[in-house]
């Protein structure tokens, strides 16, 4: 399952490292410092910073990246005013009439 936080993911810096998905972002930061030569050869996907691919393969990855669809959908929603309508929605709730008079 892609959303399982316990699934194991292979580290792009060291193929022998297998990290739980929930710890993967922290591991990437640590391993980038430990393997600076490998880090120079990898490029970060513009749609998901967890996707590190060889620089030569980046354009191919961008064409096939599954996360590209999420970004494209966000752009469509923003351009159609979807988020603005939700933000500008005015509440029609009114307080019920009250018979109490706190002044008396």
Tens-digit pLDDT profile for the chain (104 aa)? 778 999 999 999 999 999 999 999 999 999 999 999 999 999 999 999 999 999 999 999 999 998 888 877 887 877 776 555 555 667 788 888 888 888 87
Strand-strand pairing, 52-54 and 18-20: unpaired
CA neighbor of 11 nearest in space, from 66, 46, 34: 34
Give the Cα separation of 75 and 40 in Å (integer).
Answer: 31
| Strand intervals (E) in 3-93 | 8-10, 18-20, 42-44, 52-54
Determine the pLDDT at residue 3: 85
């Amino acid at each position: 399952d892609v959303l399982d936080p316990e699934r194991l993911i292979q580290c792009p810096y060291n193929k022998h490292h297998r990290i739980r998905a929930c710890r993967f972002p922290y591991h990437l930061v640590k391993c980038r410092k430990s393997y600076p030569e490998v880090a120079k050869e990898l490029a970060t996907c513009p749609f998901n910073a967890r996707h590190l691919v060889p620089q030569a393969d980046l354009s191919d990855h961008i064409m096939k990246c599954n996360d590209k669809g999420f970004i494209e959908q966000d752009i469509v929603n923003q351009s159609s005013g979807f988020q603005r309508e939700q933000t500008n929605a005015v509440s029609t709730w009114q307080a019920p009439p009250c018979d109490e008079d706190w002044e008396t």
